[in-house]
Amino acid sequence: MTLLYSEVEQELRSSVRGLLADRCPPAAVLKRVESEPYDLDLWKTLAGEIGVAGLLIPEELGGAGASASEAAVVLEELGRAVAPVPFLTSSVLATRALLPTRDALLGDLAEGRRTAALAVSFAASPYTPERGSSVSVDGDGRLSGTVTGVAGAEVADVLLVPVGGDLYAVEGASVEVVPSLDLTRPVATVTFAKTRARRVGACDLAAVLRFGAGLLASEQLGVAEWCLDTTLAYVKERHQFARPIGSFQALKHRLADLWLDVVRARAAARNAVADASSVSVAVAQSWNAGVAVRAAEEALQLHGGIGMTWEHPVHLYLKRAKATEIALGTPGDHREALASLVDVPGPGAG
């Protein structure tokens, strides 16, 4: 087990970063968020040419047979760019749900020919996997009910719907995007009305969400890193009182503390993929979610008035950070889980 990055991972990082720098600078993301947030051309390149869509899929099923560790590096980079592509929703969450079934759809997902989304609320967690869903299945195998807060649904060709321990594939449900806090990963309400579905196999939804939560910590790390780097560059440049504002101790100490939080977020993110235990995931989520929010909030404050404007991209990161604080369990949910996982029981627990 290692907490470092391998050479292969560093190479993967630099190809993803290079592509994103070219095709997905913050200004470009900002420009599209109000019309068509997802950049499917970019996704095609990422999925097909760099091959990120099939990372988690074994080679015999058409994928790259890589591990969560490589997927995590991709997520760091996508977080740094708040890249509007369905990697987390399709290539991590939906793919992980589908993997145990070895369904043929995996081959399509691996090549990026099709995209899937898990019809589960992004606000659900490994501890409350059903949150936000009222879907049931009738005797004819048709689905009815709604799921709120589904991420990545509007760009999915297939929805994967977990109901009562089974996973169903659905094409053609009603997907209604709602105005969302996170502009770069909006959520939708998915409605089924006696919708025809194909049962693809069994689904341990809590395990899928736990896996996703562990990887989300790497996206949060990427968000925090961008915020820290961008703020450092700004305070070195911005002059007030005839000095760069980054020379004032009051700001330097805040940034040193933030750096230390980010350093620890990197260790937590790496640990969550090196050892995907419930404890590691809960630790990474309860730390990194807060660090991403803190980094974005500090970035906004230290940019002063410009940080409050729509034209500066820092708000995209703040919105992403705050939304992912809720996604797949809040830090408090994960700490509550740790209480029993690491034997720190609360009052009255004996």
Partner 1 sequence: MNEAEIKERVAAFLGAHDPGGDRLEFLRARFDAGLAWVWFPEGLGGLGVSRELQQVVERELADTPQLTGGKQGIGLGMAAPTILAFGTEEQKRRFLRPLWTGEEIWCQLFSEPGAGSDLATLATRAVRDGDEWVVDGQKVWTSGAHHSRWAILVARTDPDVPKHRGMTYFVCDMSAPGVEVRPLRQITGEAEFNEVFLTGVRLSDDLRLGAVGDGWRVAQTTLMNERVAIGGAPTRRGGGVLATVLSTWREQPELRTHDLHQRLLLLWVEAEVTRLSGARLREQLAAGQPGPEGSGMKLSFARLNQALSGLDVELRRDLGYDDWAFRRSEDVDFYGRGPGYRYLRAKGNSIEGGTSEILRNIISERVLGLPSEPRVDKDVPWKDLPR
Query: Should residue 266 be labelled a site residue for partner 1 when binding is judged by CB under 8 A?
Result: yes
Contact segment (CB under 8 A) with partner 1 among 25-33, 186-194, 294-302, 331-339 equals: 331-339
CA angle at 78 for the pair 49 and 109, rounded to the nearest 5°:
45
Contact segment (CB under 8 A) with partner 1 among 72-80, 119-127, 162-170, 245-253 equals: 245-253
What is the C-alpha to C-alpha distance for residues 94 and 110, in angstroms, rounded to an integer?
12
**In the numeric block, which tokens belong to residue 28?**
């470009």
Query: Should residue 8 be labelled a site residue for partner 1 when binding is judged by CB under 8 A?
Result: no
Q: How far is the CB of 325 from partner 1 (least distance, A)?
A: 14
How many residues bind to partner 1 according to rule CB under 8 A?
44
Concatenate the DSSP letters of all residues of 52-77 into one string: GGGTTS-GGGTS----HHHHHHHHHH
What is the C-alpha to C-alpha distance for residues 214 and 346, in angstroms, rounded to an integer?
25
CB nearer to partner 1: give 32 or 127. Answer: 127
Residues 177-216, one symbol each (x = binds partner 1 by CB under 8 A, - = not), give ----------------------------------------
Length of the chain (residues): 350
Query: Should residue 11 be labelled a site residue for partner 1 when binding is judged by CB under 8 A?
Result: no
268-297: contacts with partner 1 (CB under 8 A): 268, 270-271, 283, 286-287
Query: Should residue 246 be labelled a site residue for partner 1 when binding is judged by CB under 8 A?
Result: yes
Kindly provide the residue ranges of all beta strands, DSSP E only, lying in 185-263, ordered along the sequence: 187-196, 198-202, 239-240, 243-244
Cβ atoms within 10 Å of 128's Cβ, excluding its own: 14
Helix (H) or strand (E) holding 146: strand 142-151
Q: How far is the CB of 315 from partner 1 (least distance, A)?
A: 23
What is the C-alpha to C-alpha distance for residues 186 and 281, in angstroms, rounded to an integer?
24
Q: How far is the CB of 346 from partner 1 (least distance, A)?
A: 5
Query: Should residue 221 be labelled a site residue for partner 1 when binding is judged by CB under 8 A?
Result: no
The answer to whether 337 and 282 are in contact (CB under 8 A) is yes
Contact residues for partner 1, defined by CB under 8 A? 2-4, 232, 235-236, 243-244, 246-249, 251-253, 255-257, 259-260, 263-268, 270-271, 283, 286-287, 335-336, 338-339, 342-350
